[in-house]
């Protein structure tokens, strides 16, 4: 009773005010977990993937804003956004720990209900890859049946990645970057360039003179590091649940996930660890 008196100011009449549930549209959100099999563990499978997509939406929000901030030389804002991305990534990585409580026998009870639906088709994950510079045009074919989504992905596909704008920042700082990199076809995945390698090496050898670029480089390494850890946990969770079966979307499953671990988004930033 005493505690209730202390909280006598709590608002209870919402006839003319918005509630917490209305603000978050919880009716829609919590009504979106529709099991196709009725199996108990399908709820886990749906929620894990929905939560991951929500985190990816926030990652894209931050990455897109960070790209614009770097282009405008607002480095401190970009650093804050990229630091937030890495914190989000720790959350999305931990989701695999929860999903790994699903056993092979349990998953087989409802796997056939997925049809050809697969995480391989996650358009937000593709947008994250595009924002980081990993681009292959054949991926866009998956989304042709949705014209609006396809146009959105095409826009992201042809836009400069966060590494492209970081290379442009090196050029604005006076580093002799190859001119062909500053107005290149951004739909082609970046593979590396000696002028960029030399620029980053000088940044790391003269940290005090290039503090903002040094911080930018380390923030980019953080993002790639955590993304690769996410990919690794994805691979091991899939292996734990389905072994080396093909994915529901037709991919080779674990073999495909293992292959993408070899890809590097920011090659010079990793090579300089050896060459410094």
For residue 250, what pLDDT is reported?
A: 85
- Reported for 205-209, long-range contacts at CB under 8 A and 24+ positions apart, including other chains, are 205/276
Q: Was 45 annotated as part of a binding site?
A: yes
CA distances to 128, 166, 223 from 218, rounded to whole Å, are 19, 12, 9
Per-residue pLDDT tens for 114-151?
A: 999 998 899 999 999 999 999 988 899 999 999 999 99
For residue 11, what pLDDT is reported?
A: 84
Exposure of 79 in the CB half-sphere (CA atoms within 13 A): 12
More confident: 128 or 8:
128
Q: Over the chain, what is the mean pLDDT?
A: 95
Q: Was 46 annotated as part of a binding site?
A: yes
Q: Was 111 annotated as part of a binding site?
A: yes
Per-residue pLDDT tens for 186-219?
A: 999 999 999 999 999 999 999 999 999 999 999 9
Nearest alpha carbon to residue 204 among 268, 267, 265, 263: 268
CA triple 176-223-172, angle to 5 deg: 20
Nearest alpha carbon to residue 271 among 190, 194, 219, 210: 194
Percent of the chain with pLDDT over 70: 98
CA distances to 86, 89, 234 from 80, rounded to whole Å, are 10, 14, 27
For residue 146, what pLDDT is reported?
A: 95
The answer on pLDDT for 8 being more than 80 is no
Q: Return the domain boundaries, the chain.
A: 37-104+118-273
Q: Was 48 annotated as part of a binding site?
A: yes
For residue 12, what pLDDT is reported?
A: 80
The answer on pLDDT for 111 being more than 90 is yes
Q: Was 107 annotated as part of a binding site?
A: yes
More confident: 1 or 240:
240
pTM > 0.75: yes or no: yes
Q: Was 47 annotated as part of a binding site?
A: yes
For residue 2, what pLDDT is reported?
A: 58
Give the confidence band of 5 by pLDDT, cuts at 50, 70, 90.
low
Question: What's the CATH architecture for 37-104+118-273?
Answer: Up-down Bundle (1.20)
Q: Was 88 annotated as part of a binding site?
A: no
Give the confidence band of 3 by pLDDT, cuts at 50, 70, 90.
low
Separation of alpha carbons 234 and 229, rounded Å: 8
More confident: 49 or 250:
49
User: Given CA atoms 99, 105, 106, 109 in this order, what sign does their dihedral have?
Assistant: positive
């Amino acid at each position: 009773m005493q505690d209730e008196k202390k909280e006598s100011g709590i608002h209870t009449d919402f006839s003319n005010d918005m509630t917490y549930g209305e603000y978050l549209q919880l009716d829609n959100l919590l009504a979106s977990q529709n099991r196709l099999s009725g199996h108990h563990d399908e709820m886990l499978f749906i929620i894990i993937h929905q939560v991951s997509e929500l985190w990816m939406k926030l990652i894209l929000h931050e990455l897109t804003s960070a790209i614009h901030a770097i282009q405008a030389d607002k480095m401190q804002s970009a650093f804050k956004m990229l630091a937030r991305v890495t914190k989000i990534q720790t959350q999305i990585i931990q989701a695999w720990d929860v999903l790994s409580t699903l056993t092979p026998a349990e998953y087989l009870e409802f796997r056939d209900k997925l049809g050809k639906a697969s995480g391989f088709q996650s358009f937000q994950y593709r947008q994250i890859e595009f924002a980081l510079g990993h681009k292959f045009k054949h991926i866009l074919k998956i989304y042709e049946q949705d014209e609006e989504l396809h146009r959105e992905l095409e826009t992201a596909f042809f836009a400069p990645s966060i590494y492209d704008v970081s290379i442009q920042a090196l050029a604005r700082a006076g580093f002799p970057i190859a001119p062909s990199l500053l107005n290149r076809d951004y739909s082609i995945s970046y593979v590396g360039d000696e002028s960029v390698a030399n620029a980053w090496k000088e940044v790391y050898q003269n940290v005090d003179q290039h503090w903002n670029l040094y911080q930018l480089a380390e923030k980019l390494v953080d993002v790639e590091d955590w993304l690769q850890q996410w990919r690794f946990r994805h691979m091991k969770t899939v292996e734990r649940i389905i072994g080396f079966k093909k994915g529901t979307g037709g991919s080779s499953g674990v073999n495909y996930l293992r292959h993408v671990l070899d890809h590097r988004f920011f090659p010079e930033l990793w090579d300089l660890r050896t060459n410094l």
